[in-house]
Amino acid sequence: MPQQTNRPDPVRIGVIGTGSMGAQHARNLAAGILGARLVALADPDEARVRQLGEELGVLHVYTDWRELLARDDVDAVVIAAPSPTRAEMVPAAAEAGKAIFCEKPAAVDAATARRIAGLLAETGVLYQMGFMRRFDPSYAHAHRRIREGAIGEPLLVRVSSREDAPAPTQVVRRATGMFVESSIHDFDLAEWLMNDRVVRVYAQGGYVYPEFNAPGDVDFVTASLTFSRGGLGLHDNARYSRYGYHIQTEVLGTEGALQIGYVHRDACVLLKRGQQAGDYVMDWLDRFRDAYRIEMQHFVDCVRFGRKPAIGIDAGIRALEIAEACLRSLKTGLPVEVAGGPGEM
């Protein structure tokens, strides 16, 4: 005899933007997220969206994202189109009553992100920010240990990001510069791990690959961070490291330190006379494969069971405020106070 359960229906999801990030989310939704059903895709690149639709068996594919939003059988959307589209796309999704998973950055600037936040509050739709590193098992573990007091009072954080290869020129030109597009992950991690607000930054930058850069952009940067309780942070980022993708973080506390991050793909090490060699993580999709899946499972669970996502748009605004302060510091050559004040974490 069939048994009744109280489990809510699967969440029907549409993915907007099927480039490298959106395709990964779509593949995860199609293959491995409990309680999710991928029902629609949208991307102006017709060949790309059709091909992904065929690969994943998704019947409804659109070149106009508004048609996807108009579907009554779409409960939630994953927004992974280029960052400048957020200003229009996120409010439209909220007004259509869809739950929203939004890739970073929340918008191209903090003012736009604040306007979006206002609209989200008015409509009351669920929103999750795509800061997936917080879901990476190593980062989540470190965060838990810090909160348990394993390293005492956190004093200093080092957050380092290096891209294995430059993004294609057209992607870089559509993007919003290194601080907003890339360092934003590290700014979010820095505050999250230190459990404190950044109040001042001093940033520097330079460039060596003009062929990969948008005009006026930089491709290697540093930022020195001052936290409200006196803690300090150091961030560095390079668009093209040449040796591989490398994300590394360290938090020093009064009782110890935590080092987070690895570069090996697996635990296989080749030993030869005078040499030791291991495999290397390919890129961001490879290194954060689990994190992308876990953050999406979290989103789907929140929609299904009416929970508040662990990362909201406030985190996206905050990281943008730090990125904007870094941009001003880079321009003026001076330390800059971060907008938004010390505030609550």
Ligand X SMILES: NC(=O)c1ccc[n+]([C@@H]2O[C@H](COP(=O)([O-])OP(=O)(O)OC[C@H]3O[C@@H](n4cnc5c(N)ncnc54)[C@H](O)[C@@H]3O)[C@@H](O)[C@H]2O)c1
Contact footprint for ligand X (CB under 6 A): 16-22, 42-45, 48, 65, 80-83, 85, 103-104, 130, 132, 171, 181, 284
Tell me how far, at minimum, the Cβ of 169 lies from ligand X, in Å: 11
The least CB distance from residue 258 to ligand X, in Å, is 22
Neighbours of 32 (CB within 10 A): 11
Task: Tell me how far, at minimum, the Cβ of 26 lies from ligand X, in Å.
Answer: 11
Q: b or e along 213-232 (b: 16 or more beta carbons within 10 Å of the residue's beta carbon)?
A: beeebbbbbbbbbbbbeebe
Task: Please say which residue, 104 or 318, places its beta carbon nearer to ligand X.
Answer: 104
Give the helix ranges, DSSP H, for the chain.
20-32, 46-56, 65-69, 86-95, 110-123, 137-147, 169-174, 178, 184-194, 284-287, 289-305, 313-332
CB 263 within 8 A of CB 277: no
Cα(151)–Cα(258) distance, integer angstroms: 7
CB closer to ligand X out of 82 and 154: 82
Running DSSP on this structure, what letter comes out for residue 231?
-
Nearest residue by C-beta to ligand X?
19
For residues 36 and 56, is the Cβ–Cβ distance under 8 A?
A: no
The DSSP secondary structure of 304-334, one letter per residue, reads HHTPPPSS-HHHHHHHHHHHHHHHHHHHHSS
| Closer residue to ligand X (CB): 65 or 227 | 65
Name the minimum Å distance from CB 344 to ligand X.
25
Q: Which is nearer to ligand X, 151 or 172 (CB)?
A: 172
- Closest separation in Å from C-beta 254 to ligand X: 32
How distant, in Å, are the alpha carbons of 55, 132, 298 from that of 288? 22, 8, 15
Q: Which one, 81 or 199, has the nearer CB to ligand X?
A: 81
Output 101 or 227, the one with its CB closest to ligand X: 101
Shortest spacing between CB 42 and ligand X, in angstroms: 5
